[in-house]
Amino acid sequence: MTIDQAQKEVDQWIKTVGVRYFNELTNLGILMEEVGELSRIMVRKYGEQSYKESDKNKEISDEMADVLWVLICLANQTGVDLTDALKKNFEKKNLRDADRHTANEKLL
């Protein structure tokens, strides 16, 4: 699935199954919640915190998909073409960071 297809499919789902989009600020709050849930699982799997019983069956992939879903909703609501935005972001990073990381002693 391409990013463009994902944007279209999320839009179709929202307009049929989901009835309508939550407003942008509500979705921003939901995005923060979903990032928090992803963080919670990541720090338990890769960090030093121990799992709580309620976290043991959670999948990182599902939490990432939840984050992506809400981000796509926000993009759709605000008229952002994520494919185009990502291409422009690569261009920015390639110009700005062309030598930045290879010259960083901390990364060598």
- The predicted-structure confidence for 25-78, as pLDDT tens digits, reads as follows 999 999 999 999 999 999 999 999 998 888 888 999 999 999 999 999 999 999
- DSSP for 37-101 reads HHHHHHHHHTSSPPPPGGGTT--HHHHHHHHHHHHHHHHHHHT--HHHHHHHHHHHHHHHTTTTT
What is the CATH classification number for the domain harbouring 31? 1.10.287.1080
Burial status of residue 2 (CB atoms within 10 A of its CB: 0-12, 13-18, 19 or more):
exposed
60 belongs to a structural domain: yes
108 pLDDT more than 90: no
Looking at the structure of the chain, the number of domains it has is 1
- The answer to whether residue 67 sits within a structural domain is yes
pLDDT (0 to 100) of residue 100: 84
Q: How far is CA 87 from CA 8, 31, 78, 99, in A?
A: 18, 22, 18, 19
Note whether residue 38 is domain-resident. Answer: yes
Indicate whether 25 belongs to any domain: yes
**In whole angstroms, what is the distance from residue 55 CA to residue 37 CA?**
9
The pTM for the full model equals 0.89
Is 32 part of any domain?
A: yes
Q: Given this model, what pLDDT does residue 55 score?
A: 84
